[in-house]
Chain A
Amino acid sequence: MSKKKRFGISEALTRGLSETINVVENNSGLYRNVILPLSRIELDPDNPRKLAIDLSDIRHGLRPDDPRFQQKQDELERLKELAHTIKTNGIINPIVVYKNGEFYRIVAGERRCLGSILAGKQEIEARVFNDKPKGFDLKLIQWVENTAREDLTLDERLGNVKEIITEYQHQHGSVEVTATLLKNITGLSLSQSTYYLTALNAPEDVRIHIQNGNIRNLDKAVLISNVGTPEVRSQAIEACINGSSLKELRTLITQQKSLSRMKRSLSSNTRGRVAAKVNLGVTPKPEVIKIIIDSVTNLKQFDKYSNVFSQVNWMDLRQVTKAFRKLIEILETETVYDRD
């Protein structure tokens, strides 16, 4: 007997129905997409983005006596490029606004908005929040929008994170914001969160240079902030301003650190048992040993020993270790004789 046919609705339709229901259940009353007249849109004075140019500059043109004329002029040029693409392709993502009295205040999309006005548009597509987002949510949306941008300075990005933390503490009481908490709030990786926190708590000198735009890279800022000694730090800052790469900075700092550590350890009083021996340490680089041995055997006093080391394979760490022990032995013997 053949199996009875079973009927059902198609898979595509089932998926469509379920998806639609889920969208409604998760998002109803959240926001709506509308076309807004640009004349009803205002910028958010608290947006962490520090664009000098504002609506009236765009609408009425720049005034030559404006103290920030040059900066605004540069910004205007960049906005004109954006306006050109808006003219031909429109904006791809709607801006995000919330209703503020008569006007709609921008949460995200300042440049798109200014660009659209420059492009001669009258309206702009916007996503309108039905309620004014709470302080913290607002900052978070601006943050999320801004992290996608590349032309934001480090100072602006740090300002952003700082405001998120402030709003979060405002809402949740003044809890200590750890990297893990910041990670959960912003969705950044744990290491990025740690970096941002470090840069926010950077020593005064580093902070000043971040604000001036002398330090523009988060990784560099963190690297320099972690330097405890003020002298080394100021050297690192200088190197950074002079365009050192992250790698170069790291090398510089390691060198300086080991130098200062050596000074410190030589001068400081040692704790614990009185040392009876000198530890010669270890190195992964056999060349170091070759240099030491060569320098010693170049001394007239020791040149008779040079043939002892002539057969050493300098690539073989075991052989090099043996050779170095031999050298120490020789030196100990020779110096003992000397003293005698």
Chain B
Amino acid sequence: MEIIAFVNNKGGVGKTTCSKLMAEYLSKTKKLRTLCIDFDPQCNFSHQYLDMEIDPAAPEGLIPPIHPDYNPHDPDDIDWDGRSSIAEIFYGQGVIPYPTYVEKLDIAPGHAEKLLTAESVRRSEVVDKVHKQLSNFLNHPDVQAEYDAVVIDTAPSKGPLTISVIKAATHIIIPSVMEEQPVQGIYGMLQLWMQESLVREKTRPLHLIGILPNMFKQTRLHKDILRSLQDNPAMGKYILPVKFSQRIVFAEVDAADSTPRSIFDFPEQHVAKSEAEEVCSYIAERIFA
């Protein structure tokens, strides 16, 4: 089971869009049993596949909807409120992924309040209570047996939630807009990659697939910054040879009532679809080859 995470502590660089495209490519095109995990308290990734709800009692944000398998009359479900998020791993509860409209694609949604609470754990407890939990969950034999791939969307931070993702991942990809501030975000993520790499056993290294230029525009700014990263002797080989261009259609499919709902359902010759396939197949090739 490969665990792929999109990370960048700068917000708005397209982590969620990339996660979504990758998850759909793996499940729809590669026919891999794929689990999406939303580790961002904003829960945008979850909202792509589930009708996330706003709980008046939880003013912090979104909560997952009632699970389709939940039956209040079933004695097995008596201790369950019918909702399950990935944040349950911090509370010793089981996680019950939700099916999505895509075959072979499940999601363990976020839970704004619970994720925020986990992130605010006291410093001295954070290692045991947060850092290791996701890795423990994903290493569980049941989870390993159920899925071929896991795609994790992360919060725009370098905090405990992102660190636990880095600790659990087998591969990370850093999407970035080719502008100064998002590139600074790359630095933050490389630092986490470095800290984790020094700690990891050599037998299961954390692979940095690379930096994925996202929302790319054919402007001098984007072209020059991409070029300067590519020309850097240390960094050049980590700049992916594929990129996502700035296209409104990537945002349009995110809208709740869009048809089709996935880029991969567009006609074969659609420019956005072929671009998505090019990027995702490149990444999949690197990971699964």
Residues of A that sit less than 8 Å from B by CB: 4-10, 13-14, 16-24, 27-32, 130
A128: min CB distance to chain B, Å: 9
Show 15 residue pairs from A and B whose CB-CB distance is below 8 angstroms, ordered by the A residue. Answer: A6-B224, A7-B220, A7-B221, A8-B225, A9-B228, A9-B229, A10-B180, A13-B187, A17-B190, A18-B233, A19-B234, A20-B190, A24-B190, A29-B200, A30-B198
Chain B binding site: helix, strand, loop or mixed by DSSP?
helix
Decide yes or no: A21 and B197 within 8 Å by CB, A9-B229, A13-B187, A28-B202 being known contacts.
Answer: no
How many of chain B's residues have a CB under 8 angstroms from any CB in A?
Answer: 28
B198 and A17 form a contact (CB under 8 A): no
A8 touches B200 (CB 8 A): no
Q: Which residues does B use to contact A, with CB under 8 Å?
A: 180, 183-184, 186-187, 190-191, 193-194, 197-202, 205, 208, 220-221, 224-225, 228-229, 232-235, 238
A28 near B221 with CB under 8 A, answer no
Contact call B233/A29, Cβ cutoff below 8 A: no
How distant is B123 from chain A, measured CB to nearest CB, in Å?
A: 13
Closest 9 CB pairs of A and B: A18-B234, A29-B202, A7-B224, A28-B197, A8-B228, A32-B199, A20-B190, A21-B234, A24-B197
A28 CB to closest chain B CB (Å) equals 4
Give Cα A45 to B280, complex, Å: 55
Give chain B nearest CB distance to A129 CB in angstroms: 12
For the complex, give the distance between the alpha carbons of A29 and B205 in Å: 8
Please pick, from A14, A16, A29, the residue contacting B197 in the complex, using a CB distance under 8 A.
A29
Closest to A31 in B: B198
Evaluate contact between B233 and A13: CB separation under 8 angstroms. no
Cα of A7 to Cα of B228 in the assembled complex, Å: 8
Q: How far is the CA of A32 from the CA of B183 in the complex (A)?
A: 27
Alpha-carbon distance A185/B205, docked complex (angstroms): 30
Q: How far is the CB of B215 from chain A (nearest CB, A)?
A: 16
Contact B194 A16 (CB under 8 A): no
Known A-B contacts A8-B224, A21-B190, A29-B205; the reply to A13 vs B183 at CB < 8 A is yes
A-B contact sample (6 more), CB < 8 A, given A18-B233, A18-B235, A29-B198: A7-B225, A8-B228, A18-B234, A20-B193, A31-B198, A32-B198
Report whether B198 and A9 are in contact in the complex, using a CB–CB cutoff of 8 Å.
Answer: no
Give complex CA distance A24, B189 in Å.
Answer: 13
Q: How far is the CB of A2 from chain B (nearest CB, A)?
A: 14
Q: How many angstroms between the C-alpha atoms of A27 and B200 in the bound complex?
A: 11
Residue of A9, A10, A29, A130 most packed against chain B (CB within 10 A):
A9
Shortest C-beta distance, A169 to chain B (Å), equals 28
Residue of B nearest to A127 (CB): B198
The CA of A27 and the CA of B198, in the complex, are separated in Å by: 6
A288 and B107 alpha carbons, distance in the complex (Å): 101
- Residue of A at shortest CB range from B189? A20
Give CA–CA (A29, B196) in the complex, Å: 9
Assess whether B200 is in contact with A17, with CB atoms less than 8 Å apart.
no
- In the complex, the answer to whether A14 meets B184 with C-beta atoms within 8 Å is no
Q: Enumerate chain A residues within 8 angstroms of B190, measured Cβ to Cβ.
A: 17, 20-21, 24
B187 engages A17 (CB within 8 Å)? yes
Residues of chain B within 8 A of A16, CB atoms compared? 187
Q: Could you tell me if B180 and A9 are in contact, using CB atoms closer than 8 angstroms?
A: yes
Chain B residues whose CB sits within 8 angstroms of the CB of A5 once the complex forms? 220
The distance from the CB of A246 to the nearest CB of chain B, in whole angstroms, is 46
Residue among B194, B200, B208 with the most chain A CB within 10 A? B194
Nearest residue in B to A25 (C-beta to C-beta)?
Answer: B234
